[in-house]
A = this chain, B = another copy of it.
Amino acid sequence: MASLSASSLSLFPLSSSSWSLTKPQLNFSIATTNRIKFTIPTKPRNHVGTHVIRSAVSIDKEILLSESPHTLLRESDGDGNAIRARFQQMIMKAQAIVCEAIEEVDGVGKFKEDAWTRPGGGGGISRVLQDGAVWEKAGVNISVVYGMMPPEAYRAAKPAATDLNPGPVPFFAAGISSVLHPRNPFAPTLHFNYRYFETDAPKDIPGAPRQWWFGGGTDLTPAYIFEEDVRHFHSIQKRACDKFDPTFYPRFKKWCDDYFYIKHRGERRGLGGIFFDDLNDYDQEMLLSFATECANSVVPAYIPIMEKRKDMPYTERHKAWQQLRRGRYVEFNLVYDRGTTFGLKTGGRIESILVSLPLTARWEYDHKPEEGSEEWKLLDACINPKEWI
């Protein structure tokens, strides 16, 4: 999944089902080539009769642009009716809307934009607001990747076809990813991320289909619980889900609690939201609408909470606790988040990947909040995920 390094933030948190083979990779070499390539050595290392796959991954070096392009798609993908073009349009619009809402509430900070392409096609647009009045750090990134998918990933994406054995398959991925870290400890961090994958049909297997799937989610990470805020946030997620399928919210809420799990702490990173991946067992148009609805729900889910919390008075103790929870955010993103860890290993644009990290974080030895305190209540909700609505 070299390609995923081109993602920004944790744009493509690889699902274990689709990409399990890529995880045991031990070594990566980064080379400047015409496009993303996967090579699997013909002689895997042999330990005690078992094999370990070692993949060499290469990715184009990004080329910074002086201004944002209107599209990151290859010219051949210019058809405005294709899903990939419409998905790109959707994430570009979502980026603009979210950034505008953030700047308006912040009042002081302005987004700085960096855009890049890659020689093989694709690229990204990072927008980062740092040291604002309301947000310490807010990143909203989009990116488009053209790459080659290793054969086993294609197989895994379609488990029924396990007898097929294609060569590497070209794929397309596009996504928006954002982490918004406010200054006020009573104002929550928000993360969201919506992405679309598409493969070509493998040329060497007649009749083998093109694959596609959607992934994404929106989740809330406060340092203190205001039940009305968490209920509001989850209600908006549920409303977006319910427009499409009543099973979505309960399924994706649980998936979110399971994914954002800091295993060594036994804690979730925050209070969840929704998360889904590999979604392809619905009508493609319906899922594009669903992803659009989710992205459009970011502002109504988050901004009203920020309006209420951004100016609340707080003490050093509140700030220190927020900083400790930011430390947990760093732990999750650097140790577990599949998009981040893979991106780091495969030579993506590091600054875009790591813009998800907070401006500041704190680690105290053996810190334990007093039982029953507000800090303890947050921790308890991270350890024992709750139903908020």
Given contacts A360-B361, A365-B130, contact A48 B152 (CB under 8 A): yes
Of B139, B165, B330, B365, which one neighbours A128 at CB under 8 angstroms? B365
Which of A65-73, A268-276, A344-352 interfaces with chain B? A344-352
In the bound complex, do residue A47 and residue B23 qualify as a contact, i.e. CB atoms below 8 Å apart? no
Distance, CA A177 to CA B341, complexed state (A): 26
Given contacts A323-B360, A362-B359, contact A334 B345 (CB under 8 A): no
Of B44, B52, B359, which one neighbours A364 at CB under 8 angstroms? B359
Residues of B within 8 A of A265 (CB): 350
Residues of B within 8 A of A362 (CB): 359-361
Q: Does A317 contact B (CB under 8 A)?
A: no
Q: When each residue 90-134 of chain A gets 1 if its CB lies under 8 Å from chain B and 0 otherwise, what string results?
A: 000000000000000000000010100000000000001010000
Of B23, B26, B48, B327, which one neighbours A151 at CB under 8 angstroms? B48
Smallest CB-CB separation from A368: which chain B residue?
B351
In the bound complex, do residue B331 and residue A48 qualify as a contact, i.e. CB atoms below 8 Å apart? no
Smallest CB-CB separation from A266: which chain B residue?
B350
Residues of B within 8 A of A47 (CB): 20-21, 53, 152, 156
A interface residue numbers (CB < 8 A to B): 20-21, 23-24, 26, 44-45, 47-48, 50-53, 112, 114, 128, 130, 137, 139, 151-152, 155-156, 165, 263-265, 323, 327, 330-331, 334-335, 341, 344-345, 347, 350-351, 353-355, 357-366
Residues of B within 8 A of A350 (CB): 264-265
Smallest CB-CB separation from A130: which chain B residue?
B365
Shortest distance between the CB of A279 and any CB in chain B (Å)? 23
Given contacts A21-B48, A48-B155, contact A365 B264 (CB under 8 A): no
Distance, CA A20 to CA B344, complexed state (A): 21
Smallest CB-CB separation from A152: which chain B residue?
B48
Distance, CA A354 to CA B366, complexed state (A): 9
Smallest CB-CB separation from A139: which chain B residue?
B365
Of B51, B112, B327, which one neighbours A357 at CB under 8 angstroms? B327
Shortest distance between the CB of A372 and any CB in chain B (Å)? 22
Distance, CA A341 to CA B52, complexed state (A): 20
Smallest CB-CB separation from A51: which chain B residue?
B50
Residues of B within 8 A of A364 (CB): 130, 359
Distance, CA A355 to CA B364, complexed state (A): 8
In the bound complex, do residue B345 and residue A341 qualify as a contact, i.e. CB atoms below 8 Å apart? no
Residues of B within 8 A of A355 (CB): 365
Given contacts A24-B24, A350-B264, A365-B137, contact A165 B357 (CB under 8 A): no
In the bound complex, do residue A366 and residue B351 qualify as a contact, i.e. CB atoms below 8 Å apart? yes
A-B residue pairs in contact (CB < 8 Å), sample of 29: A20-B47, A20-B52, A23-B26, A24-B24, A44-B50, A47-B53, A48-B151, A50-B53, A51-B51, A112-B365, A114-B366, A130-B364, A137-B363, A137-B365, A139-B365, A263-B345, A264-B344, A264-B347, A265-B350, A331-B354, A334-B335, A335-B341, A351-B366, A357-B363, A359-B363, A360-B362, A361-B361, A361-B362, A361-B363
The 10 closest A-B pairs by CB, nearest first: A24-B24, A264-B344, A357-B363, A334-B334, A50-B51, A128-B365, A351-B366, A48-B152, A21-B47, A360-B362
In the bound complex, do residue B366 and residue A358 qualify as a contact, i.e. CB atoms below 8 Å apart? no
Residues of B within 8 A of A327 (CB): 357
Residues of B within 8 A of A151 (CB): 48
Residues of B within 8 A of A365 (CB): 112, 128, 130, 137, 139, 351, 355
Shortest distance between the CB of A269 and any CB in chain B (Å)? 14
Residues of B within 8 A of A341 (CB): 335
Distance, CA A265 to CA B20, complexed state (A): 26
Distance, CA A361 to CA B26, complexed state (A): 28
Shortest distance between the CB of A95 and any CB in chain B (Å)? 16
